[in-house]
Amino acid sequence: MFGNWLKTSILMAGIVALFGVVGGALGGQQGMLMALVFGGAMNLWAYWFSDKAVLKMYRAQEVSADTSPYLYNIVKELAQRAELPMPKVYIIDEEQPNAFATGRNPEHAAVAATSGILRLLSERELRGVMAHELAHVKHRDILISTIAATVAGAISALAQFGMFFGGRDSEHRPHPAAQILVMLLAPMAAMLIQMAISRTREFAADRGGAAFSSDPDALADALLKIESYVKGGVPLHAAEEHPATAQMMIVNPLLGGGLRSLFSTHPATQERVARLRQMRL
């Protein structure tokens, strides 16, 4: 657990340092301030309201102990084991098996599962999946991803506006070729660091979920089943319509080829499974 937090801290420091370098190269203090304010405002809104927006995008329906006792009671038992407040529970009417957690803190959290995952997984495997999602809540991963997105967005904005800001003065203005190179490469570098942070947090949630459920093999088995269905071409329509939300899912619902491993927000499933198998209690 400490290793994952250390890696996340290093990556966060890297993306902040990148912001400083890009700001100095393109916008000076004025450009850095404008980009950070712009990115911060956008992501502050996202931090407070994105959970409602995402649940609406996925047409998620809130359930209770009366309307869906099977899922609700699994989440309730795991939340108690994790010493978390009871989150709101939602079901998404989608055939692809998948799940996610959202909410700005444990007191305002929600977990959602597709109808497909409820049909596919055994109760033991579903417990493993929901424990993983509650680990995201416990680790406050929404806050971490929001901070990363704020700085990454500010870097992209700064790169876009760089040509207008120039250097701090005519004597220190960067060479135009170097300016263009920074404008092109900085957003990509920020995106890669942001994705690396996301992958690190997935490993941490796997470990935390396995501890909450006391059954790492259950989560491993569930991940293999889910990925098999995704690779088999079962779509998640809401994720296709809103691909930026794919990073929230327990398994990437938009699996593709090419440079997927480099640009993916999720670690390779086989690596996740291998780590979970090593955790057998």
Residues with a known catalytic role = 133
Radius of gyration over every alpha carbon of the chain, rounded to an integer in angstroms: 20
How far, CA to CA in Å, does 259 sit from each of 36, 49, 192, 201, 241? 30, 32, 12, 21, 22
202, with CB counted inside 10 A (0-12, 13-18, 19+), is buried
Q: In sequence order, what E strands does 118-207 have?
A: none
Count H helices and E strands in the chain, helices first. 11, 4
Whether the CB-CB separation of 276 and 203 falls below 8 Å is answered with no
Residue 221 has φ and ψ, to the nearest 5°, of -65, -40
Classify 170 as helix, strand or coil. Answer: coil
Q: Pairing between strand 88-92 and 99-102?
A: unpaired
d(CA 93, CA 100): 14
Identify any residues that bridge with 89 across adjacent strands, giving them in sequence order. 63, 111
CB atoms within 10 A of CB 88: 18
